[in-house]
Amino acid sequence: MKPLPVLGSRVKFGLKRCIRAWAATAIVLAVAPAAAFAQTDEIQVYDGSVAEPGVINLTLHNNFTPDGLKTPAFPGGLIPDKSFNGAAEWAFGVTDWFEAGLYLPLYSVSKDRGATINGGKIRLLFAEPHADDRKFVYAVNFEFSYNAKHWDPNSFTSEIRPILGFHVRSWDFFVNPILDNSFEGGFGNLDFAPASRIAYNFSPKWALGVEEYADLGPLHNFYTADEQSHQVWGVVDRSAKWADIEAGIGLGLTPASDKVTLKLILSRDIWRWRKR
């Protein structure tokens, strides 16, 4: 999706101050996350792109684990093996530097529980305008979740996702040093779950990439190597007239990781509030 043209220098300076203020506030208020969980509704590295102002975008996240962990991450949780997890993500471009999102519903189909609703969450993304056309990209995303007990033992959790990256000719390099938070404890208990992506764009419509998703554990005491989750993904992106498509396969590298996971992401602008 292409944002509107870059604003003037005063607005850009104000945006930088806004992002820094939000990040500082989040770090001060953030408190400890729960332990690492095997399942997620969204497997994606953010690149700072936002919907155009006045545009509503719908993204469907679909993840299937044909060979996953055979036990739940916590008592009463879903079993990852043979589970299908997904979410409908609704995004609205408020300005060319701010996008608001709603994930509803979050759902699963698992062999131990069948079809379930896992909760919902809201998302606030603050990004540099016109990020797709910039060499260096910075942004920050915040998510606030309400969780069903079978999805997360904490009813309320949040995520702080800084976004840093480079567009270098046909190459994209992005890292999301994510901090997960369950509103218990102190700063050192924030869970560090970084995600990264390197992609080569063959054309404006096709890209091939490698992604890595990890969960290292709380900042004050990272998990041992065997307890950490690490997955390496091969992904392909296609921009078609009817939707933007991302498909990939992930392979687990540690005993705490699902061995094989598949993902399919479909994204499309579905409504425009006003004409450009």
Q: Considering the entire predicted model, what is its pTM?
A: 0.85
Q: What is the secondary structure of the chain as a DSSP string?
A: -PPPPP--HHHHHHHHHHHHHHHHHHHHH--------S--S------S--PPBTEEEEEEEEEEEEE--SS-SSTTPPP-TT-EEEEEEEEEEEETTEEEEEEEEEEEEETTTEEEEEEEEEEEEEE-TTGGG-SEEEEEEEEEEEE-TTT-SSSEEEEEEEEEEEEETTEEEEEEEEEEE-S-S-GGG-EEEEEEEEEEESSSSEEEEEEEEEE-EETTSPPPTTTSEEEEEEEEEEE-SS-EEEEEEEEE-STTS-SEEEEEEEEEEEEESS--
Domain boundaries of the chain, sorted by first residue = 9-272
pLDDT digits (tens, 9 = 90+) for 188-221: 789 999 999 999 999 999 999 999 999 999 999 9
* Per-residue pLDDT at 55: 97
* Per-residue pLDDT at 275: 56
Residue 140 pLDDT exceeds 90: yes
State whether CATH 2.60.40.10 applies to domain 9-272: no
